[in-house]
Chain A
C-alpha cells in the first residue's frame, strides 16, 4: 500500500479546481479519497497530481425545492443517510447510502466521487438511474461563460470507470425528482461477502394507481459494465396489477435487456448473476410494494 509519488493541490472553489485541472494535464480530482486512493496505493494507477476538492463548501449540502431533491456532489454517504429530506423524498437513496461500506467509509466517501468513479459494482449508479437523476457538470469553457451542462444518469455512465465527464470537468450537483406518494422505489442487492459490493443490484421505481402499475423504471447493476435499464421488464409491468404472478413474469424478462457483456468471477459466474438479476428485481418490487415476501 505505497502509492507512487504524486503532487497535491487543494482547491477552495469549483472554478479554482477547474483551472488547476486545465493547467495540469493528467491531474485527477479527489474528494473523499475512498476509490482513487486505494487504487493508487495498490499501484493499480499512478497519478501525477491530485486536486483535492474536499474543502469546497459550495459543493456540499442537501435541499428540496419545487419537487426536486438536490444534493451537492461533495455530500458524504453519512450525510445522505442522516438526512430527513432524503429519507422523505427518496427513501431508496437514503437506504442505499446507509448500506455503503462501513461508518468510516460513509463518513469520508461522497456521492459525487462515487458516481464519477463509476465502479460497476457500486450501488449508487443503479439507484440514481432508476431515480432518473440529472448531474450538473462544470468545465472550463462552461464556467467562464456562466454555463454548465446537465447530463442524465441514463447518459452519464459510459463503461466501467468511464463517464461523460470531460478532461477538465467536475461533477457538482445531483438532482432527482422527489418520489410521489404513489411511487414506490427499492434497491435490492446480492452483496459480495468480502466487500458488500453488488454482485447483482436491482433498482426499481414503480407508480401504482388503483392497484395497477402505471409507470416503471427498472435498472440492474453490479455485473454489467454500467447500470442497465430493463425496458422489457418495465413494459411488462405497466398496466398490470402487481401480484406475484405478474411480478415474476415481468422480472424474468430482464435477461432480454442485459446484452452479452455480463461479468462473472470466482464467487459468482455470469450465468448465475443473470439468473439472480430477475430474483433481485422481484425482491425489490416485493419490498417496494409491501407485497408479502414470497411463500
Chain B
C-alpha cells in the first residue's frame, strides 16, 4: 500500500527558525571590518543637479568615503531593463545607479556615504549639500503623455516608453456588430509593496581574487548574479549571490536595484565589506511600486448576453526608469489574458508604457493579471446591469466549457486545462446565493445596503516555456534545474535554483521528493538561495516555483530511481526486469524477502564496494525542466459586503475563495497562500494607494498614511477548491501564490458597487475609502 505525504497538511518546517529569530537575513550578516552605507536620495521628484558638495560630510566622524554619480559614472554600467516586449518601440533609457545630472523621482539616489557605523553614515548624509534646480514633475501616466507635460528623458518623446498592441480576432468587426457595448474608465491605482523584511545588501569584494560576494534580498539570486555581472563587469563565475533567507517579496525583490550595485561599488572601491539596509521610509520611495494604470475599457456583446469582444486603451505608469521586468507586466502578463474564464472571440490590448516622475513600477503580486481580471469582471458586471441579467447567470453563459488538454483563446495563448462551472456552483452553494439576493432585496427596503460580488477568473502563471520567454522579449530563460543527491547514510539533499522566500516550499518540496523516492520526509532537505551551491534557476515569481522548479526535482528523482533499480538488481542478483519498485523498496518479484531499500542502495552506491560493471559511484542526478506551456489556475470568488450609508463604511461580511490549482501538495500551505493573496487584493480595493502631490512628493510615504490590510478589518475566509490537473507537468500542479490577489480586488469592488447601485452609484475610484463612498452617496442624494 502506498502512503503519500503529497496532499498532507504537515506543518511548515521553516517556521521554527523564521518565527523565533533563528534565521540569518541579509541585515543579520556581520563580517570583519564591515562598513555601513547610507544613500542620499533626491527630495525632489524632478530636479537638475547643479553640484554636490560632500566636503563637510567627508569630515564628519567615522566617515570613510562618499561617492556621487560622478564616481560611479562609467564604472558601473546602467541598471538594465530585462524585459523588452517585441514590436513596441521600447526606449531603453539609461538608468544610472547614482543620478549625476538629473534626479527623476523623489528617492532617486544622489550620493552614498560609507561610514564605520550606520548612525555616522546617517549623520553625514545631512551634511551633504546638493544644489538642485527643481523642474516641473508629472506623476500620472495619462497626464505624462499629454502635450506640454514635463519630459523625463530626451530620447523618449512624450514620455512614451513603449507602445504595445496585441489583438486576437477582429475586435473592430465585433464592436461594429455588437448589440450592446459597455465602457468604463478604470484607475488601477499605484500600490506600494511592503515585505516584512526591508531590502538589504551586504557586498564583500575580495581584491586578491577579484570575487564579489553579495548577500541580497532577492527572489532570484541567479538573475541577480547575471544582472550584477552586467552592471559591474565582473564575470558571473566570480560573483556569488546569497539570498537564502528573504523575508517576503511579493515581486518587489525580483528587480535589480541601484542600491545593491551601489553597495557593491563601495566595497570594490574600499576593499572592505559594505552593508546597506533600507529603512522602511526609504523602501516606500526606492522599492518598486505596482499597478498604476489609467484604463479605457469596453466590452461588446449580443443582446442575449454572449460576450463577443474586449478592447482597451491603457496608460501604464513605468516610473522614472524601466525596472527589470516592468514593461512585461502591463503587456504580456496583462494583455494576453483578457479572455479570463470566458469564451470571447476577440480581444485587443493597446498599451502605452509611460515614464513619470515616480518610483519605477514592476511586478507586484499578480502582476498584470489582477488588472486584467479587474477590467474583465468590471465589464461583465456592467453588462449584466445593461442587459438586466443576473451577473452570475451572465458569467455562467460565457464560461469556457470543460477542457482537458488545451483551449485556444483569442489572444493566441492556449490554456492547459479547466473545468470552471463546478467551482462556480460550489461557491454559490456555499454562499447560498439565491438567499443572499433575497436578503439584499429585503435589506434594501429598510435602507440597508448590502452587495454581492462574484468573480470568475482564469490566470496565466507557472512562467514559462523558454521559447515563449524569448519570443515575448524576456531577457532570459524560464526553465528550472535541480540536483537530487543521496548521501551515504541515505539522507537526501535537493539543490534548487528556485528561491522560496517564505512561501513554505522547503516543506512542500520535501513532501514531493519524499514520495518520489520513498524516504521519510524528514530525511529530505532543500537547499536554495545561494548561487555557489545551487544549480542555475530563474527564481521565484509568477507562481512558477512548484510548477517549474519542483518539476525539475521530480525528473531528477526519477533518474535516481532508475539507477537505484540497476544497482538493486545487481545486489539482489536478479534480472532488472524482475525488480519491482514500491514505496522506496526494490524487491524481486515473487520474493518479498529479496529486497533493498533505496536508502540502503544509497549507502552501497556511495561506498561503491560492489557496483555493476561501468556504473559510476554515488546516487544523485540533475535534471532540467523547461515547461511546454504555462499553467492556468482558475476559480470563483464571492464577497458579501455591507455599506453604511451614514458614514460610508464598508464591512466585508463574507469572503469565499474557490480556487483550482490542480493537486494540492500541502492544503494548509495552499490555504495560507489564498489568505495572503486575497488580503493583498482587498488592500487595493479598500485601503491602499500611493498619493503624490502636484510636485511629485509621495504623500503616502510611510505606514502612518499608507494603509496595509489589518487582520481585524477582514472576515473569516471560506476556502474551497477543486483539483483539475495540468496535463503537461509531471505533478499536474498549477500556481496558487497570486490567485487571491488576482480575484479579490474586483470581487470586493463589484460587491460594493452592487450595494450602492440602488443609490444610483455605478463607479468609484479605489481605494474605496469611507469618505469616497459617503461623498458619492451624498452627491446622489443631492441630485
Contacts and interface: CB of A to CB of B under 8 A. Distances in A.
A and B bound?
Answer: yes
The 10 closest A-B pairs by CB, nearest first: A194-B707, A193-B707, A2-B122, A272-B771, A193-B687, A266-B691, A279-B647, A2-B119, A268-B771, A1-B279
Interface in B426-450: 446
Interface string A189-215: 010111110000000000000000000
A3 B120 CA distance: 10
Contacts of B454: none
Given A194-B707, A295-B446, A267 B769 contact: yes
B123 A194 contact: no
B757 interface: no
Interface string B687-706: 10001000000011001111
A279 B704 CA distance: 24
Interface string A67-100: 0000000000000000000000000000000000
Contact of B119 (A5, A279, A295): A5
Given A2-B122, A4-B123, A279-B646, A266 B705 contact: yes
A141 B647 CA distance: 50
Interface in A96-132: none
Contacts of B770: 190, 268, 272
Interface string A271-295: 0100110010000000000000011
Contacts of A194: 687, 703-708
Nearest to B36: A2
B13 interface: no
A9 interface: no
A265 interface: yes
B279 A266 contact: no
Interface in A23-53: 42-43
Contacts of B703: 194-195
A34 to B, nearest CB: 14
Given A190-B770, A276-B647, A267 B446 contact: no
A267 B691 CA distance: 10
B700 A266 contact: yes
A269 interface: yes
B691 A193 contact: no
A2 B771 contact: no
A267 B647 contact: no
Given A266-B700, A267-B707, A193 B771 contact: no
B55 interface: no
Given A1-B280, A2-B122, A190 B705 contact: no
Nearest to B279: A1
Overall SS of chain B's interface: loop
A42 B281 contact: yes
A267 B768 CA distance: 10
B17 interface: no
Contacts of A195: 703-704
A294 to B, nearest CB: 8
B771 A190 contact: no
20 contacts: A1-B279, A4-B123, A43-B122, A190-B647, A190-B649, A192-B707, A193-B687, A193-B707, A193-B713, A194-B687, A194-B706, A196-B710, A266-B691, A266-B705, A267-B707, A268-B770, A272-B774, A275-B774, A294-B646, A295-B446
Contacts of B280: 1
A192 B705 CA distance: 9
A237 B279 CA distance: 50
B118 interface: yes
B513 to A, nearest CB: 39
A279 B686 CA distance: 21
- Most interface-central of B119, B691, B771, B775 (chain A CB within 10 A): B771
Interface residues of A, number: 24
Contacts of B704: 194-195
Nearest to A264: B771
B771 A267 contact: yes
- Most interface-central of A5, A267, A269 (chain B CB within 10 A): A267
Contacts of B687: 193-194
- Most interface-central of B123, B279, B280, B646 (chain A CB within 10 A): B646
B575 to A, nearest CB: 67
Contacts of B699: 266
A135 B708 CA distance: 36
Contacts of A5: 119, 123
A209 B447 CA distance: 33
A267 B774 contact: no
A269 B771 contact: yes
A266 B122 CA distance: 30
Interface in B278-300: 279-281
Given A2-B119, A276-B647, A265 B705 contact: yes
B131 to A, nearest CB: 22
B118 A2 contact: yes
B715 to A, nearest CB: 15
Nearest to B447: A295
Contacts of A266: 691, 699-700, 705
B771 to A, nearest CB: 4
B710 A193 contact: yes
Contacts of B646: 279, 294
Nearest to A3: B119
Contacts of B281: 42
A279 B647 CA distance: 7
A214 B703 CA distance: 44
A5 B710 CA distance: 34
B36 to A, nearest CB: 10
Given A193-B686, A267-B705, A268-B769, 9 more contacts: A190-B649, A193-B687, A194-B687, A194-B703, A194-B708, A195-B703, A266-B700, A272-B771, A275-B774
A258 B649 CA distance: 23
Nearest to B123: A4
Contacts of A279: 646-647
Contacts of A3: 119
Nearest to B119: A2
A220 to B, nearest CB: 14
Contacts of A1: 279-280
A294 B446 CA distance: 11
Contacts of A2: 118-119, 122, 279
Contacts of B769: 267-268
A119 to B, nearest CB: 11
A190 B769 CA distance: 12
Nearest to A1: B279
A273 to B, nearest CB: 9
A19 to B, nearest CB: 29
A281 to B, nearest CB: 12
A71 B646 CA distance: 37
A295 B770 CA distance: 19
Contacts of B647: 190, 276, 279
A1 B118 CA distance: 10
Nearest to A269: B771
Contacts of A4: 123
A161 B680 CA distance: 35
A177 B446 CA distance: 42
